[in-house]
């Protein structure tokens, strides 16, 4: 099976409260062939996850407005959906180490795609 076919089967829930960044990342993911659902806040993402179907990857910013920041969302999602691959993103270097994979902003699309595949591979080992 070609990498393009495999990528097209991967569904990502993108959570980013900054509209311009959300649009850029969504466009990069779609251009790479991923299926993408977007949410503006952790609360909205949690509602989407509860409604189903569950995506393959949760890609969330860490610092967001709303009741749940990205780490809160990731921890909640990991408890509720243990098969979900989780990748967090941040532009702040002052954040402590996390139990989840973190992608530092700014990043190139190739680094994003590589990090998504690494998160999926990591999930498949658990």
Does the residue 61 lie in any domain? yes
Q: In this predicted model, what pLDDT tens digit does every residue of 37-53 receive, in sequence order? A: 999 999 999 999 999 88
Q: Number of structural domains, the chain?
A: 1
Query: Could you tell me which residues come within 8 angstroms of residue 42 by beta carbon, excluding any fewer than 6 positions away?
Result: 15, 60, 64, 66, 67, 68, 69, 70, 72, 73
Q: Is 110 helix (H, G, I), strand (E, B) or coil?
A: helix
Does the residue 39 lie in any domain? yes
* Domain encompassing residue 80: 3-108
Does the residue 67 lie in any domain? yes
Q: What is the DSSP letter of 82?
A: T
pLDDT class for 66, splitting at 50, 70, 90?
A: confident
pLDDT class for 126, splitting at 50, 70, 90?
A: low
Q: What is the CATH number of the domain that holds 100?
A: 3.40.50.2300
pLDDT class for 15, splitting at 50, 70, 90?
A: very high
pTM of the model: 0.88
């Amino acid at each position: 099976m070609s990498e393009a076919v495999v990528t097209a089967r991967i569904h990502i829930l993108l959570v980013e409260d900054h509209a311009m960044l959300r649009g850029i990342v969504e466009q990069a993911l779609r251009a790479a062939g991923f299926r993408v659902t977007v949410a503006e806040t952790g609360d909205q993402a949690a509602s989407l996850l509860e409604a189903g179907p569950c995506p393959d990857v949760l890609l969330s910013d860490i610092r967001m407005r709303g009741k749940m920041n990205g780490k809160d969302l990731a921890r909640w999602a990991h408890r509720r959906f243990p098969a979900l691959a989780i990748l967090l993103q941040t532009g702040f270097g002052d954040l402590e180490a996390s139990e989840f994979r973190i992608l530092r902003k700014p990043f190139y699309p190739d680094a994003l795609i590589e990090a998504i595949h690494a998160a999926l591979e990591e999930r498949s080992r658990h």
